Chain A
């Protein structure tokens, strides 16, 4: 009996490892909105030294000066005050609007230039990104600035709430059964998983499970085999991996 318990413990431990794997795969597959047309571009608010350099260079009529003028810094004994640092989020928003304007200008030019042989120019924002900036969805998305960054720190995406909220539970035993769950509690998780009339599905939980199924079963089988090398009596184990 003790040996059977040991085998079951090993199987449950292997299940715990397997469910973490499913969680990781689900997070990797979970859709996250990207607002950039290319993943190599990043928004980066200009540093204070760059803004000071712009001011010294006397740039006029550019976004640089435009942003600078909005946040007219005050001088202190050490130079410009760090009020610009405190306004970094607003600076990001302003920079996003600058790119939105560039996107809109390009789309207008494409429309007017149809048939004239004008080559379309690449835009920084994707079509989705322009929508996000225009509707201020990205700006209003989160109370936490970290999850609403536009390119700062290397992020090319907005949000990430769906991905961030995926979690897994430890295996729970009940009698001769053990269960572990991977849960995506976000209220729109099912809309992403199954799709709606307006948006196609972006399945992430089921593909994660499908890809991990064989691995989980073989991991549990290996754990059972290892534990039963001590010469346990015959034991039946049924493994079900399901959504």
Chain B
């Protein structure tokens, strides 16, 4: 049995975010994985894989992955609004994952982060949530 990794899930999440025109038009700095480059316009979105354990049973494997998706903005209201758009795009979304069957995609937590300062000394706001994405691959 060929098992595919969590990489298609990451692509599916980005596709789901890009499928929302309101979100795409609002994000000037784009969507980045892990950390955004230094000179990126605000606001931007960063997503990060937190965990992706493989759960095997007699039918195949399920990957109950967890992702963090954050918005960085100079304005807390803008950050919260964008976070709400992201939640709208991802919560209960039907993801199209290559080689896997998407079982659920759900926001499971708001993440406790406060204001920060970037390299230029600008005050920025990091707002986001954790999303649980379950996919299965049958034998």
Query: Using a CB–CB distance below 8 Å, which chain A residues touch chain B?
Result: 190, 194-201, 203, 206-207, 210-211, 214, 243
Contact = CB atoms under 8 A, between A and B. Distances in A.
Interface in B99-121: 109, 111-113, 116, 118-119
A190 B126 CA distance: 13
Given A207-B50, A211-B51, A194 B64 contact: no
A198 B119 contact: yes
A200 B50 CA distance: 11
Interface stretch (B8-16, B66-74, B85-93): B66-74
B126 A243 contact: no
16 contacts: A194-B68, A194-B111, A194-B126, A195-B35, A195-B70, A196-B116, A196-B126, A197-B36, A197-B72, A200-B34, A201-B68, A203-B48, A210-B50, A210-B51, A210-B66, A214-B55
Nearest to B109: A243
Given A197-B116, A197-B118, A197-B124, A210 B48 contact: no
Interface of B: 34-36, 46, 48, 50-51, 53, 55, 64, 66, 68, 70, 72, 109, 111-113, 116, 118-119, 124, 126, 130
The 10 closest A-B CB pairs, nearest first, are: A207-B51, A200-B34, A200-B35, A210-B51, A203-B50, A201-B48, A197-B118, A211-B53, A206-B50, A197-B116
A13 B26 CA distance: 51
Contacts of A203: 48, 50-51, 68
Contact of B64 (A206, A210, A243): A210
Contacts of B51: 203, 206-207, 210-211
Interface-central residue, B55, B111, B119, by most chain A CB under 10 Å: B111
Contacts of A200: 34-35, 48
Nearest to A201: B48
A15 to B, nearest CB: 20
B127 to A, nearest CB: 11
A191 to B, nearest CB: 9
A87 to B, nearest CB: 38
Given A200-B48, A206-B66, A194 B55 contact: no
A196 B109 CA distance: 18
A243 B113 CA distance: 15
Nearest to A214: B55
Interface-central residue, A197, A200, A201, A211, by most chain B CB under 10 Å: A197
B112 A190 contact: yes
Contacts of B116: 196-197
Given A206-B66, A210-B66, A197 B53 contact: no
